[in-house]
Structure 1
């Protein structure tokens, strides 16, 4: 697991820097900078809006006595999408937008659910309390 984190901490910023440099060559430095700022502010705004919807869904399901599993996974996807949109770069923005967009979010939710099921079946999911 540690090797994947180290690889991500090296590869993702390198890819983002390359994307920013390429975009600045195509459209110029100032438009690239403004585009990065706009995606950051838009990400914060849309995360807030979608997050409120997810919170209402979780509360509604809990009030009716249903387990709020899918609604909580939606909230997790929205949180991750918002964080990715706040990071400077275009590749993380693309993934962040697809995590916030309600039509593409079920694909991520399904992937997270399958990952959790595999971990639970294998008995490798551990929850630690401090």
Structure 2
């Protein structure tokens, strides 16, 4: 928590200092105009990239792939949008950085690696993977095995049930008469 508190104190101070410096350099109204223009351009870019990421996520789900990269992209775009809407040059610079896909992917890999090393989640690797890098199935695996007709194979334990035998938890359905093989029925 101390890091978060430090950020909440340091970022506004840095933004105020940058406002003063840029305002002295280019003037009050150009400074305000620059902040508004970066917010408009940033939100437009966030919207375009967000819709593209949503479409890629739909495609991944239609192909029975987990949209891991798309979720990461969406999270980065959410943070970028919040930073771009926050008035300031420092937050705009960080927000615009998150809109550059190679930088966003590098940041995402670093955050995922950090979270995996610190026990936030476990990464299982099975080989194969999605050619695009971070996307695909958990751990970058090749995806679910397929059976006849391309249907995914669901693996698990099962118990065979005779459809003619009653469920042991059901009450008897013979009008109150008991079956000598099933006990007293009370």
TM-score range normalised by the length of the shorter chain: 0.7 to 0.9
Q: Can you give the 5+ residue segments of structure 1 that lack an aligned partner in the other structure? A: 126-130
How many Å separate the matches in 1 of 2:103 and 2:2?
A: 29
Q: CA deviation at 1:90?
A: 0.6
- Partner residue of 2:18? 19
Per the normalisation by structure 1, the TM-score is 0.87
Structure with bigger gyration radius: 2
Asked if 2 retains the 8 angstrom alpha-carbon contact of 1:82 and 1:100, the reply is no
Q: What is the rounded CA distance, in whole Å, between the counterparts of 1:9 and 1:99 in structure 2?
A: 20
Q: Which residue of 2 aligns with 1:110?
A: 109
Bigger RCO (CA 8 Å, 6+ sep): 1
Instruction: Name the structure where helix makes up a greater proportion of residues.
Output: 1
Report the equivalent of 1:66. Answer: 65
Any runs of at least 4 consecutive aligned residues in structure 1 with deviations exceeding 2 A, and if so which?
none
Q: SS of 1:103's equivalent?
A: helix
Count of matched residue pairs: 121
**1:42-101 deviation line (CA, Å, top 9, x unaligned):** 111111111001111111111101111111101111111111111111111111001012
**RMSD value over aligned CA atoms?**
1.3
2:49 aligned residue = 50
| TM-score, normalised with respect to structure 2 | 0.62
- Structure 2, unaligned runs of 5 or more: 122-186
